[in-house]
Structure 1
């Protein structure tokens, strides 16, 4: 595979939202101080753990840490069950604790106050912004989307698991104008090949929505038009995977994909032509999270010298072996019951 960049990088202090340099904290996990690289900023992260409702039923409950743009630090905010940060990382859309809810808050990240509420007629459980930040897609559910069940394994061990393939209460989605809160709801047919939580997101051009499906032949994703009907993937997103959050490069010329077939101890992920699906280069990283510019990305990468998968956030360059650590190592959850900390990246220069 060709080397598309030399991988040179100067790590230096950067303005939280307005700069374009790299701010790394390889000694922090989870991070306390802002992590930034080029166009991307770690705007928030969350942890999650089971909360018992009754008997063998519970919910996986999230706790968020949000970036304060004034101090450049992450502050715990346990008021919200779900947070979507807008491009620019100055505001966020939030949902209150008991899902699903019938109003969406628009939160000022500097003041910590909700500027206004958007009322809806159906229960919402998930949110995602459009690429330009002007619209929200709000996924609707009949029940809490993070329901979990306690099960006993063959060895007698007890664990919490999320149901799959038998039931999801997802009913459809709203596409809402952020400025005035207006928008329509569209129903979506039931599916058996989705998880309990399977939120929608808007396509690159905002004309369609998509969500993950399990075992699908088209990159684990299914697209719908804004009326809720299933449609083919757009030409430039046909070869993407919904479980690789980086998706298209800023100029739209490259597609971030998953691990190469040869990846073993050292992880390399594929970069493909988004229209043809042909592999054009490779980049270090086990999971590609966000584009920094046209040739660099932020990824989870296995920490060196460890037999188990203990990832850290790193800055990687297409075709280069250079890795710049951005965070400390995230410890694994051996019981698979909790989320240690999950990053949320957005564009900061907006």
Structure 2
């Protein structure tokens, strides 16, 4: 899409505010404006600049070319497939969708060393299906589900790819001066924080234990060197050096705080408590946690509710076929209530979340993606789960969620 097209599309969006519009155009504009509800268009020039920035970070497709089902990217309804595990078709609820998922296994490189290797299934927005892709060692899906930031195999890498999920092609490579091993988008999709490493953070060493031989990340063995904050539109970034922390493994990735002014990573604190977090400013200096993120855990994916009023916390109560996690006041840490779910993964809205939950029956933990609601003990299955008599060592899959 060139600048002329961008300007024309911007003018078409502005024209939606006029009394007369073309057939079908209003629906497309309303969908775009719903995703940009905090933005206004001041002038054609300003609009063109804004569209250029968004087109790179989260590429838009004009109405004349958009053949993707509205329910995939622009919908807010429920798309569940409780008979599929891992899923083949779109999983979504409200503004949140499963943008990708991956399975992983340790692939031996020598007799004593292996690499923890991910295989991704990426959402094809045109078909609403997940397509297998083994080219990438790490994938982060941008808000809007149109773009993914990807890293090639053999981490750490010296470039970041921007993958168009519609075409499956790399739109642009962003070269970097430090080896990158992890990625995370800011909440608005305009920036990436890329964690830099001197060595592959997914290396595994052979260990011999009571249960036999296994591959394990070395405790305290991180070679993390810092992080890059990259402006997606321009490709320009600033690197800050940060020493490794006390990690449970070699991977110590950074992610943005809620407002994007800080980054944080998971750490182990005194007493061996895991899932804690350390915040840094964008120059790499340690800083206190923001007041509204003080009681969050880095190992709980859901974090703050959309309105910032509740903090998702860890598993609190578990029964053979039910689990409950705590929701806290994010500023005081006081428990507000319990909600179903063994692991809270993503907020759908201020009342509902996506979680891993036990499947009924048996004694083994058999996870299934479910939609849970505050104040209700009911769950809505979103994905399937392993069969009751399935092999407990079978490959599990890990979800990657994004706003649509």
Tell me the TM-score normalised to structure 1 length.
0.91
Displacement of 1:306 after TM fit? 2.4
Q: Is 1:135 equivalent to 2:177 in the alignment?
A: no
Q: Please name the residue that 1:46 is paired with.
A: 102
Q: 1:231 to 1:164 in 2, by over 3 A?
A: same
Matching residue within 16, 25, 33 for 2:81:
25
How far apart, CA to CA, are the structure 2 residues paired with 1:218 and 1:80?
A: 28
Matching residue within 159, 163, 172 for 2:218:
163
> Which aligned pairs between 1:58-77 and structure 2 lie closer than 5 A?
58-77=114-133
Q: Deviations over 1:190-212 (max 9, x none)?
A: 32334201100000000110011
4+ runs of 1 displaced by more than 6 Å?
none
Matching residue within 305, 308, 313 for 2:369:
313
Displacement of 1:39 after TM fit? 1.2
Q: 1:44 to 1:233 in 2, by over 3 A?
A: same
Q: Deviations over 1:10-46 (max 9, x none)?
A: xxx9801111110100000000000010111000000
How far apart, CA to CA, are the structure 1 residues paired with 2:141 and 2:376?
A: 31
Q: Please name the residue that 2:261 is paired with.
A: 207
Q: Structure 1, unaligned stretches of length 5 or more? A: 1-12
Q: Please name the residue that 1:34 is paired with.
A: 90
Q: Secondary structure of 1:198's partner?
A: coil
Q: Please name the residue that 1:5 is paired with.
A: none
Q: Structure 2, unaligned stretches of length 5 or more? A: 1-68
**Quick check: which has more Rg, 1 or 2?**
2
Count of aligned pairs:
331
> Which aligned pairs between 1:179-328 and structure 2 lie closer than 5 A?
179-215=233-269, 220-260=276-316, 262-265=317-320, 266-328=322-384
Per residue, is there more helix in 1 or in 2? 2
Q: Deviations over 1:142-178 (max 9, x none)?
A: 01100101122235x211111112x111000000000
CA contact (8 A) 1:193 1:214 kept: yes
- Greater CA drift, 262-271 or 168-177: 262-271
How far apart, CA to CA, are the structure 2 residues paired with 1:69 and 1:219?
A: 33
Q: 1:163 to 1:219 in 2, by over 3 A?
A: closer
**CA RMSD of superposed structures (Å):** 1.7
Q: Please name the residue that 2:227 is paired with.
A: 173
Q: Secondary structure of 1:32's partner?
A: coil
How far apart, CA to CA, are the structure 1 residues paired with 2:219 and 2:402?
A: 29
CA contact (8 A) 1:118 1:181 kept: yes
CA contact (8 A) 2:326 2:335 kept: yes
> Which aligned pairs between 1:45-124 and structure 2 lie closer than 5 A?
45-124=101-180
Displacement of 1:263 after TM fit? 2.9
